Structure 1
Amino acid sequence: MADAAGRLTKLAEEVLGAPLPVRIRAWDRSESGPPGAPTLVIRHRRALRRLLFKPGELGLARAWVAGDLDIEGDLYEALDRLAGLIWERSDAPGPSRAALVRALARPEIRAAARELLLLAGAPVPPAPPAEELRRRRGPLHTLRRDKEAISHHYDVGNDFYALVLGPSMVYSCAYWESPQATLEDAQRDKLDLICRKLGLREGQRLLDVGCGWGSMVLHAAREYGVRAVGITLSEEQAGFARKRIAEAGLADLIEIRVQDYREIHDEPFDAISSVGMAEHVGRTQYAEYAAALYSLLKPGGRLLNHQIARRPVVDEEAYHVDEFIDRYVFPDGELAPVGRTVGQLEEAGFEVRDVEAIREHYALTLRSWVENLERHWDEAARLTSVGRARVWRLYMAASALSFERNRIGVNQVLAVRTPEPGDAGMPLRARDWTG
């Protein structure tokens, strides 16, 4: 069928009631849409079948990961233009659900839908890409299920992560002095900021929950002389971290465990850092998480909880994780508004002393990771798979835009297990962390 791009553009604009913001190039080499705009390339009609059998974000994600869909031109500009149609439908200008239903009832739209079926070809659903985690049944956030979820995300190869993250091997928001700073300097500054907020001193005992590849405990032991325990659920991360620690000559100060925070029984600790880990905890377990960390601290001990937050929604009970994120990136992960996080820490007994919002810093961090991935694309695809590399490119680029557009944020919450009669041991001046 000739001019597939023109036919698809017409159908999309009929349904949306607005001009399509990107150009389309179809598998028959036909093109349609605004000149000079980023181009959505439909490499195979199989992409249409994916959307027909799984409308919405998951169908698009499957087509992207499989390589049936691609983008030519600036990826960020394309995602920014498409955000209002795909990721921000609830508050974006455009047709309401009722308007869409009315549109689909119109004879010309029904005719266009039949045409879409013809364009899609074979009336069978394509198999999901191998990188997709199939939907699982049973209760969320059991010890076994959390370990499997962490393995899906992190056990894709230390060499792959080294390409994306750079030498620091820090997989969380960096702390930028300026956009011109290097990623390495920004990650070092973030680690040092956390150590200063925790008021670390030589001889203290630090617990790093979700220690990743060991960067936080290495910095704390090397620069502040603490004795540190790092825990992770990823076997690959733990092996990598132990090797780094041995090479640094710090094995006498640092222990790395493959262990869940619910399984620690050798408290107390003087300080706890939890950086980019609480997003995995889940709303049903967060009270237990906060209570567990409180119980592991000495009176007067500090917690630094570094956590991504989402914006509040009208119906919090209706909140659900995006299907692309759940199936391809962070299985069972959940974000909460920062107010809820602060409230639950306080309910566990903590005194919250400081909240620092650093969402612009995460946008800069993600753009640096995308740049690293694109620079080493062939090697990254070889180390994992082309589909996995495509997952990460889309996920990180879209996340950068979400931080820039204030769709999500990230906050460092400093809390204290304040002893009786109430001296938290904090300096009088705000953010003079060491007094």
Structure 2
Amino acid sequence: MGSNQQDIVEAPVLARRRHLLDEALAGAGVRINGDRPWDLQLHREEALDEILARGSLGLGETYMLGDWDVQALDQFFCRILRADLTRLVRPWRNALRLLRSYVVNLQSRHRAFEVGERHYDLGNDFYQAMLDPRMVYSCGYWRAGAETLEQAQEAKLDLICRKLGLEPGMRLLDIGCGWGSLVSYAAQHYGVECVGVTVSREQQAWIHQQYPDLPISVHLQDYRSLDLKFDRIASVGMFEHVGHRNHRTFMKVAKRCLKPDGLLLLHTIGKNQRHSATDPWIERYIFPNGELPSAGQIGDAADRLLVTEDLHNFGSDYDHTLMAWHTNFEQHWDQFADRYGQRFYRMWRYYLLSCAGAFRARHIQLWQWMFSDRVEGGVDRVS
């Protein structure tokens, strides 16, 4: 077959009909099959219809299947979120998901351990490879002059300890203590006795193994069963699992557990809009039953229970943190490829880089709230 005849046969295959997503993505400065790092490279035409019909869930699932690629996923997501392309998701889908979250308590006691089993118990060696030496799985504090992930995380831990005014002899409760980064740092550097609670068996085992000689005890339990007194309470990266139906309950538990004049530091990712649904892809594949709070919801939850003393937003630092985690993940992936497989690799890469783009676009935030137990005469007391 001559070259001209071959070109005629291949032309219909190479031609691609314009799609509604072409125009939408163009509004974000993204081209399908373009040559820039943030352009979408399409491998299966039908994926465009699935993305348009199913929004975020379709976008993530078609990526996991290998239907499309982007060289710089973080830049891609920053652009589409800044352009508010999420409006393409059919409103009724979000309406149904919002209704479900108001009718069903997705973060009830019997669901509390699901996120631990499905996410945090993936393997301590996996997280050890991705995180810093202290295994901090929350936003680092880079603006203090940190140059490495380890420095940024230690700066964040020290910032928390200083905000809480920790002194030797105090008792600190860490609600959602992760792999013990804060309690170990506080015990070592500030001489406090620490109690941590977690819903992850792997995290509990790690802390027992790593810090046998520190004044730390860690319990596998739901936060709602806490009923001991502490000078200070911290919760770092756990409130995202509480859910709006339980925000008030969380604050009541904190009130119940604080000594007079005690302080609570709440470190949480937050959303900009009160009435917005959890990203369906993140909920299905990364954090089951997760729900980001809004600033208004947190304020409502603390009303007449605790006094807001300070609110600190350093959400842009999460972009830097997630990119550092992604670098570590890529560098160590060969150790885990046989265990987790290619689908997991694409899922995890999508998770880390889409979240980095979301923080870069200021689509989501990172807050540290400081509360004091100084409310007197409140009518809604802890039961």
Q: Assess same fold via TM > 0.5.
A: yes
Q: Give the equivalent residue in structure 1 for 2:284.
A: 327
* 2:309 pairs with 1:311: no
CA separation in 1, counterparts of 2:283 and 2:27?
A: 31
- 8 Å Cα contact 2:315-2:365 kept in structure 1: yes
CA separation in 2, counterparts of 1:257 and 1:14?
A: 51
* 2:372 pairs with 1:416: yes
* 2:162 pairs with 1:165: no
Structure 1 residues 37-76: aligned runs within 5 Å = 38-44=38-44, 47=47, 51=51, 55-71=54-70, 73-76=71-74
Q: Secondary structure at the match of 2:309?
A: strand
1:107-136, Cα deviation, whole Å (9 max, x unpaired): xxxxxxxxxxxxxxxxxxxxxxxxxxxx99
More helix by percentage: 2
CA displacement at 1:412 relative to structure 2: 0.7
Return closer, same or farther for 1:294/1:67 CA change in 2, 3 Å cut-off: same
Q: 2:351 aligns with which of 392, 395, 410?
A: 395
CA separation in 2, counterparts of 1:168 and 1:287?
A: 31
Q: Identity percentage over the alignment? A: 38
Amino acid at match of 1:307: T
Unaligned runs of 5+ in 1: 25-32, 99-134, 422-435
CA displacement at 1:400 relative to structure 2: 1.6
Q: 1:261 aligns with which of 223, 226, 238?
A: 223
1:133-164, Cα deviation, whole Å (9 max, x unpaired): xx999642221212113321211111111121
Residues paired across the two proteins, number: 359
CA displacement at 1:22 relative to structure 2: 4.1
Q: Give the equivalent residue in structure 2 for 1:344.
A: 301
Please identify the structure whose Cα radius of gyration is greater. Answer: 1
Query: Which has the larger displacement, 74-83 or 191-200?
Result: 74-83
TM-score, L = length of structure 1: 0.75
- 8 Å Cα contact 1:355-1:414 kept in structure 2: yes
Return closer, same or farther for 1:21/1:238 CA change in 2, 3 Å cut-off: same
CA separation in 1, counterparts of 2:89 and 2:285?
A: 29
- 8 Å Cα contact 2:60-2:350 kept in structure 1: no
1:329-368, Cα deviation, whole Å (9 max, x unpaired): 1111111222331332233x11111111111211111111
Q: Secondary structure at the match of 2:263?
A: strand
Return closer, same or farther for 1:205/1:38 CA change in 2, 3 Å cut-off: closer
Q: Which one has more relative contact order, counting CA pairs under 8 Å at least 6 apart?
A: 2
Return closer, same or farther for 1:65/1:412 CA change in 2, 3 Å cut-off: same
Return closer, same or farther for 1:63/1:218 CA change in 2, 3 Å cut-off: same
Structure 1 residues 27-106: aligned runs within 5 Å = 33-36=33-36, 38-44=38-44, 47=47, 51=51, 55-71=54-70, 73-83=71-81, 88-90=85-87
Q: Give the equivalent residue in structure 1 for 2:151.
A: 185
Structure 1 residues 84-233: aligned runs within 5 Å = 88-90=85-87, 139-177=105-143, 181-233=147-199
Q: Give the equivalent residue in structure 2 for 1:292.
A: 253
* 2:329 pairs with 1:373: yes
Amino acid at match of 2:64: V
CA displacement at 1:231 relative to structure 2: 0.5
CA displacement at 1:5 relative to structure 2: 5.8
CA separation in 1, counterparts of 2:63 and 2:339?
A: 19
CA displacement at 1:258 relative to structure 2: 0.5
- 8 Å Cα contact 2:21-2:48 kept in structure 1: no
Query: Which has the larger displacement, 268-277 or 398-407?
Result: 398-407
CA separation in 2, counterparts of 1:50 and 1:243?
A: 46
Q: Secondary structure at the match of 2:85?
A: coil
- 8 Å Cα contact 2:143-2:317 kept in structure 1: no
Return closer, same or farther for 1:186/1:46 CA change in 2, 3 Å cut-off: same
CA displacement at 1:84 relative to structure 2: 6.0
Q: Give the equivalent residue in structure 2 for 1:278.
A: 239
TM-score, L = length of structure 2: 0.84
Amino acid at match of 1:301: G
Q: Secondary structure at the match of 1:306?
A: strand
Q: Secondary structure at the match of 1:55?
A: helix
Return closer, same or farther for 1:4/1:334 CA change in 2, 3 Å cut-off: farther
